[in-house]
Amino acid sequence: MKAYIIDKYKSADGGRIADMPEPELRPGDVLVKVHAAGLNVLDSKIRTGEFKLMLPYRFPLIMGNDVAGVVVKVGAMAKRFKVGDEVYARPDKDRIGTFAEFIAMDEADVALKPKSLTMEEAASIPLVGLTAWQALVEMANVKKGQKVFIQAGSGGVGTFAIQLAKHLGATVATTASAANAALVKSLGADVVIDYKTQDFETTLRDYDVVLNSQDGKTLEKSLRILKPGGKLISITGPPDAAFAKELGAPWYVELLMSALSAGVRKKAKRLKVGYRFLFMKASGAQLERITALIDAGTIRPVMDKVFPFAETKEALAYIETGRAKGKVVVKVQ
């Protein structure tokens, strides 16, 4: 099968399309013929080796963390899906590889595709949808009447998280350029801060939850806009010891991650707020709940561009510019 691979981290060619063996089907797996695959900032970070300590991949590595397609084979123990089902998923972190003609995934990580979406739209959802769900519903337990600050509102995670936070009953603040203000307001943002001309730290006060997706300086400023007891959840780091435990990492990795986040955790404690790092997990069950919200019209995908599979490298380069509004997808079939 054709697949987009890297042969090593920071490879000179940045990745290439190559012939790879079709994935082997485990007893609890479904084999999916890929119709479309979503791109994420995570793909770029994996390619450069930013997560190699946490995710020690083997090479050649098939890239890609979002998929929509059709089930073409089911494992001997798989019971949830049948051949012909249209599905979408974020495969487990150890089994990525959606930039390919086929992918095998544990059926527990897969859900039926929202009926209201095209394959390309469905492929844009899993990683950002699960990230927003696990941050706002699981970790933050956002309640009606709370105030939530979501950074980079016009990005992939931001466009989904604004809609989810609004559905949960929160007042939502976000950052965006003036050009994207109308977009984020249409998604439900109540307060829009132009990050080019305004400083959110001087505007926002007493927030319950911050979803941080930016750099360390922005993270520290975000801690200061929270009220006592508030929570900051960061998807860009620094990782903490709790994450190392989730990975089942060796003790020295846990120690290292604890050290990396020590400064942030100390500042959070001084301000009487909470800090957590989130590296989202695959979950077909959570995707089913997201599907219900999408098919009910509560949440809609926000798409920027669809690239042909042959232009996957160009699609990744576009993601790295940071200018995408919503999600970028490659059409495989």
% of the chain at pLDDT higher than 70: 100
3-class SS of residue 333: coil
The reported pLDDT for the residue numbered 253 is: 82
251 pLDDT tier (thresholds 50, 70, 90)? confident
3-class SS of residue 322: coil
Cα(181)–Cα(194) distance, integer angstroms: 8
Q: If you average pLDDT over every residue of the chain, what do you get? A: 96
The reported pLDDT for the residue numbered 245 is: 84
Q: What is the pLDDT of residues 46-66, one digit of tens each?
A: 999 988 877 889 999 999 999
Answer left, alpha or beta for residue 132, where phi above 0 means left and psi between -120 and 50 means alpha.
alpha
Cα(260)–Cα(253) distance, integer angstroms: 10
Does 48 lie in the same domain as 179?
A: no
Supply the CATH number for residue 200's domain: 3.40.50.720
Whether residue 138 is predicted with pLDDT greater than 90 in this model: the reply is yes
Cβ-based neighbours of 161, under 8 Å, separated by 6 or more = 128, 131, 132, 135, 136, 150, 211
Give the neighbor-by-neighbor strand order of the sheet with 61-62: 16-19, 2-6, 61-62
The reported pLDDT for the residue numbered 54 is: 77
Cα 88 versus chain centre, distance = 14
Whether residue 248 is predicted with pLDDT greater than 90 in this model: the reply is no
Burial (CB < 10 A; 0-12, 13-18, 19+), residue 279, is middle
Does 186 lie in the same domain as 134?
A: yes
The reported pLDDT for the residue numbered 237 is: 86
Is 266 contained in some domain?
yes
The reported pLDDT for the residue numbered 257 is: 87
Which residues span the domain enclosing 39? 2-125+301-331
Cα(133)–Cα(166) distance, integer angstroms: 12
Mean pLDDT of 224-244: 93
Could you tell me which residue, 198 or 248, shows the higher pLDDT?
198
Whether residue 213 is predicted with pLDDT greater than 90 in this model: the reply is yes
Mean pLDDT of 203-211: 98
Answer left, alpha or beta for residue 234, where phi above 0 means left and psi between -120 and 50 means alpha.
beta
Does 272 lie in the same domain as 138?
A: yes
Is 29 contained in some domain?
yes
Cβ-based neighbours of 263, under 8 Å, separated by 6 or more = none
The reported pLDDT for the residue numbered 249 is: 80
- Whether 330 and 307 have beta carbons less than 8 Å apart is answered as yes
8 pLDDT tier (thresholds 50, 70, 90)? very high
The reported pLDDT for the residue numbered 162 is: 98
Does 211 lie in the same domain as 319?
A: no
Stated as kind and residue range, the H or E segment containing 46 is helix 41-48
Cα(175)–Cα(183) distance, integer angstroms: 12
Does 155 lie in the same domain as 70?
A: no
Could you tell me which residue, 56 or 192, shows the higher pLDDT?
192
Does 193 lie in the same domain as 83?
A: no
Does 235 lie in the same domain as 255?
A: yes
Is 323 contained in some domain?
yes
Q: What is the pLDDT of residues 304-319, one digit of tens each?
A: 999 999 999 999 999 9
Supply the CATH number for residue 87's domain: 3.90.180.10
